[in-house]
Every structure is written in C-alpha cells, then in structure tokens.
Chains A and B, each alone.
Chain A
Amino acid sequence: MKKFDYLKPNTLEEALSLLNQYGDRAKMIAGGTDAIVMNRQKKISPDVFISLRGIPGLDQIEFNGIFKIGALVTHRTIEQSELIRKRFPILAGASSVLGSVQVRNVATIGGNLCTASPSAETSPSLLVYEAEAHLVSQNGERRLSLESFFVGPGENALDKKEILKGILLPSPPPNSVGAYLKLGRRKSVDLSVVNVAVLLTLDPKTGICERARIALGAVAPTPLRAKETEKILEGNLLDDGIIRKAGDCAKQECSPITDIRGSAEYRREMAGVLVEKGIRQSLVNHSRIV
C-alpha cells in the first residue's frame, strides 16, 4: 500500500484550509471503512488523508426546529439514538442493518453519502425524509437536496474544496408511517441487491394516502425517488389493486444493471416486490406514528 500522511485538524476551518492547500492530492476520511479499503484496492491513492474525526461537534445530533445529524455521526449512534428511532425510524432501521457492529461503530452517515454508492444503506431513507446535505467551503455554506447530491456511481456533488458538514432532516408530516426493506444475499454484512424506503402520510379518518415518498437503491446509477409511483398512491385508498399498480410502476422507474449480486431483470422485479411489501408493511405500522 502506498504511504500517505494523515492529518487531523481540530476545526472545520483548518480542515477546509488543508483541503485548499492539498487539492487533488488529499482525500477526506471519516470512519475510514470505505476509504481505507479503496486505498488498499488502489481505487484511490492520496498523498494525504485529512481526517474529520478530531473536529468537535461533527458527531452530534441536534434539534433547532430542524434535525441536524453531523456528518461524523456513526451508524451505531443512529441505530441506538432514541430520538432518531422515534422521529426517523426508517433511517434508524437502515443504519441498524449496515455492515456489522464493528463497521457501524466507526462508519459514519456522512461517509456513507459521500461514497455515493448506488446501494448505500441510508440513502433511500434519507430521500423519503427529503433530507438536505449541508455543505461548507471557505466561501461559505450551501444546502443541497440529497437528490441533487448523488451524481452517479461513486460521484457526489461536492465541489473539490467543499466538505459535507451534516444532514438536515425536516420532520415528516403527522400521521406518517413507513418502512425500510433491504434485499441482500445474506442476512448481514452484505450490500443490498435492492433497497427500498417507503414513507406514507395517511388521513387518519379515511385512510386515504395524502402524501407518498418512495425511494429505491441499487437499481440505478444513483439512489432515486420513484416519483411516478408516488403519484399512483397519492389521493387513493391503498387497496390491493393500487399497491400492485405501484409495484409495477416502480419496476419501470428503475434502470438496474447486472452485477455479481444480481441480474438487471431480477433487480427490476424485486424493486417492484419490495415497494409492494414496503407499502403493506407501512400500513401494518399504521398505529405507530412516525
């Protein structure tokens, strides 16, 4: 493995200044569970890793009218956070099945998003919650919808001199229910063949679906919102016919590839199956307000 320097700034300002100074020679590192593997596989070969782990505050979950999850919050913290489990259970569910305990203890939510894998565990759940990425550079800050943050497989919208500081999560409307479903080849420590997040807002009197958010992972170059599928559900009572129609629509909205984990045809079919299952599971969860 190529030798590299390892810098550990104590402030975000210092980190941004180092990023400016080293440019393409540097790579940011958070938990390192992707970065160290990619370095070993020679997919990246930075002269310098700039670690964000020494910066206080980036590993905090805060609420100031909007929920903020710092980029350095680990999946283990998300999985165990009472607040996230109560307010954003689909995200807590996704974090709880990422990798193994050992990986969840160090891997971060920011790292998971910046790696921008089409199959990233937390992406579909964050998409249905309409999360925003909070980006900072020496020139200032900006907020970007997560949909625009994913550009392609392994590519994100970060400018070369920007750092992902955290994720902003608006509270879902009242009477929302949801589910996160992951299809893997084994029960744990596996990447998804397909992963699906569903968030439905139901009229408590009529049961009519007022708002639907469906997101799919591992079936397109980026994780994506299935917006046509959402339209089928909105304004309707979610009976068997509508649910099947939504599943069929989801199959058409994805553009999967064949790889070692599954064929394109299988992925497309399973995306539909998982969307249907996710809707049904959400309806069972109806009494449990998200």
Chain B
Amino acid sequence: MKQTIRFKLNGDPIQIEVEPHLTLLEVLRNELELTGTKEGCGMGECGACTVLINGRAVNSCLFPIMETDGKNVITIEGLADVDGNLHPIQRSFIENGAVQCGFCTSGMILSAKALLDENPKPTEEEIRTAISGNLCRCTGYLQIIEAIKEVNKNS
C-alpha cells in the first residue's frame, strides 16, 4: 500500500505517495524523473547513485525511500543555481577534463561537494578517500582529483 512521505528535494519541500519497498534511487529516476542520478552496480559499491542526505554522501540505491521522510535530499539537478549557472564544482570538472563518458560524474560531484562543504581545502589523500566509493569506468581519476583540488584554489 502506498504511503505518503514528505522531504526537501533540492531545496523544495515535496510530498509524494510511494510504494514502501522502493529505494530513493528508484523514486528519483522513475517517479520524479530526475535521471541525473545513475544506477551502476545497485549494491553500494560504484557510487554512481550518490546523493546528499542532510549534507552527507549516501548511495541512493541502498536507501529505503521511507527513510527519506523528513530529510533534506540534494541530487545533481540541485547544484546549478536558478538561472542555470553551474556550481563551481561542475565548472571545475568541465575545465579540468574530468568528465569522460559522464556516468560517474553526478556521483563524483556530490561526493566532492560533501567533502568540500566539510573541508574546503582537502589534501589529495582526503580527496582520494572521499571519492574511494565512486568508480570511474573511464579511469579518469587524475583529472577528477585535479578538478576537486582546483575548486577552492583561489578562495
């Protein structure tokens, strides 16, 4: 039986009716049509489905939708501002050639955001740890690390 849940999605409060057995990823992609969040392994190992819940990076493929009630969820669609200007992390990924096929990019950027919000000038080791749960099938890790390093370089 469908149940009603309320949460904040990319800044906006929403209320939806959901089947309780679904994951946050399934609801984001199939019901809310936010397909920027990707499904890779479906087992919490690849990080393609990473979103932020209350500011923390989480695998949405393992997150029961019912646990989203009352939470603050940020997906890749919530990063650009209302005028469509890209987030500094998104710009840095483009400028540093950190996007190849793009499948890992949403998750990588959200893992980077969780890190930088907590620690604006991380060491390379801290960056590597923060994205260790995000696999890039094109293996473009060096550019990704470089892009994350560059975000707050001049601030």
- A residues sitting closer than 8 Å to B (CB atoms) are 1-6, 8, 29, 32-33, 36-37, 40, 49, 51, 53, 76, 99-103, 105-106, 187-189
Decide if B7 is an interface residue (CB 8 Å cutoff). Answer: no
Decide if B17 is an interface residue (CB 8 Å cutoff). Answer: no
A8–B63 touching, CB < 8 Å: no
B1-24 CB mask vs A (1 if < 8 Å, else 0) is 101000000000000000111010
Q: For B132, what are the chain A residues with a Cβ–Cβ distance below 8 Å?
A: 100-101, 187-189
Measured in the bound complex, the distance between the Cα atoms of B130 and A76 in whole Å is 12
Which of B37-45, B79-87, B91-99, B137-145 is near enough to bind chain A?
A: B37-45
Q: For B45, what are the chain A residues with a Cβ–Cβ distance below 8 Å?
A: 100, 189
Residue of B nearest to A41 (CB): B43
Interface of B is mostly: mixed
A101-B114, A105-B56, A106-B62 are contacts. A40–B42 as well, Cβ < 8 Å? yes
A106–B63 touching, CB < 8 Å: yes
Can you name 8 A-B residue pairings with CB atoms under 8 Å?
A6-B20, A6-B66, A100-B132, A100-B133, A101-B132, A103-B133, A106-B58, A106-B59
**For chain B residues 56-105, which have a beta carbon within 8 Å of chain A?**
56-59, 61-64, 66-67
B129–A188 touching, CB < 8 Å: yes
B20–A4 touching, CB < 8 Å: yes
Sorted nearest first, the 8 A-B pairs with minimum C-beta distance are A100-B133, A188-B132, A6-B20, A6-B66, A105-B56, A102-B59, A3-B21, A102-B133
